[in-house]
Amino acid sequence: MATIYDIAKACGLSPATVSKALSNASDVSAATRERVRRIAQELDYVPNAGARALSQSRTWSIGVLCQDASQMGLWHYLFAQVIESFKDYVEQHGYDIVFISNKVGNMGLSYLGHCRYRRVDGVFIVNTDHSQKDARELIESNLPKIAIDFENKSIGCVMTDPCESMRLLFSHLYDQGHRNIVYLHGERGKFITEERISALEKAAADASDKSVNLRLFPSRYYSIEGGYDSMKKLLEATPDDRPTAVIASDDYSAIGVISAIRDAGLSVPDDISVVGFDGIEITQRTSPNLTTIRQDTKAIGEAAAQNLLAQIAGEENVQKTISLKPQLVLGESCTTVNK
């Protein structure tokens, strides 16, 4: 395996100059840096990660936490696309990613313990139970970190603007004549659940229409089965006051909601309109294709990466909350109310 000394000999330079060139030092000319990199590539040079970490006080690795009771993890289209975008960005800046868990062998490590064991420079929290002890320990640590759809005084977040998202959904249903609307929300107590409920209630209040009947009904995130079960219970509970429109907690749940409506002998959208949240690709290939809010997964991943790298670099005044613009995708699962 080639070393810096082999590169230095081939270039006719000192090992110190080669090291600076490979580290993008400003006191080495662009021509020299290019020549050193070309010869390093020809010699199949691979930098020593341990030496690099010691010299730069970094390990050049970032932890990614995507683990919760839903068991969706990387199976979830949205999370997978966000992580891919995040990965692409940090790799362009010289970082590797490490998936963080509290179930590593029999070591008994917490999330933070695993981060320290791997000596990551920062961590991206994609999905977890933020109220769980290990998650709280990590969030409250001094490790650079950024989350999706969660923030408190210890951590900032990237999210698709919940106020604008729920306003778009409500306004679309309202404009189609829907006044009897049910929101099948995800687990109460979750940061993003409460944000979206508050935003939806505000949108309904802003309509200043006493005929609007907005109701909340519990469901689960990222679960086709959960959406099915919740919709079945809702229909059983409202035989004489059936909603004309249902907002599902997310697109996976919306698939289950549509299935439950059909199994009850009803039609989507003729009897009940259904809208979702996330904009995952499969729901644009189903029948009917879903009206939903599309989240920009590429922008989410890149924004999280930029924020985290800025924290790692010790930049001041790093933005705490990054709120991205949603897109309303119009499908065939929603129609005007039958008069």
User: Could you tell me if residue 48 is inside a domain?
Assistant: no
Same domain, 148 and 126: yes
Handedness of CA 32, 6, 46, 61 (dihedral sign): negative
User: Could you tell me if residue 337 is inside a domain?
Assistant: no
Same domain, 127 and 168: no
Given a contact cutoff of 8 angstroms between Cβ atoms, the answer to whether 23 and 34 are in contact is no
Same domain, 22 and 126: no
Q: Can you give the CATH number for the domain in which 20 is found?
A: 1.10.260.40
Same domain, 179 and 205: yes
Mean pLDDT of all residues in the chain?
A: 91
The stretch 283-301 carries a mean pLDDT of: 95
% of the chain at pLDDT higher than 70 = 93
Same domain, 175 and 150: no
Phi and psi at residue 49, in whole multiples of 5°? -65, -40
SS3 at position 15:
helix
**Tell me: the pLDDT tens digits for 225-242?**
999 999 999 999 999 999
Per-residue b or e along 22-40, where b marks 16 or more CB atoms closer than 10 Å to that residue's CB: beeeeebeeebbebbeebb
User: Could you tell me if residue 335 is inside a domain?
Assistant: no
User: Could you tell me if residue 53 is inside a domain?
Assistant: no
Q: Can you give the CATH number for the domain in which 175 is found?
A: 3.40.50.2300
Same domain, 177 and 237: yes
- pLDDT of amino acid 163: 98
User: Could you tell me if residue 55 is inside a domain?
Assistant: no
Same domain, 34 and 72: no
Least confidently predicted of 49-53, 75-79, 135-139, 180-184? 49-53
Pairing status of strand 321-324 against strand 273-275: unpaired
Same domain, 145 and 198: no
Q: Structurally, how many domains does the chain consist of?
A: 3
Domain that holds residue 197: 162-295
Predicted TM-score (pTM) of the model is 0.82
Same domain, 122 and 183: no
The stretch 143-150 carries a mean pLDDT of: 96
Whole-angstrom distance, CA of residue 235 vs CA of residue 321? 38
SS3 at position 73:
helix
Same domain, 153 and 167: no
Same domain, 208 and 311: no
User: Could you tell me if residue 8 is inside a domain?
Assistant: yes
The stretch 279-287 carries a mean pLDDT of: 90
Q: What token pair was written down for 1?
A: 């395996």
User: Could you tell me if residue 336 is inside a domain?
Assistant: no
- pLDDT of amino acid 58: 73
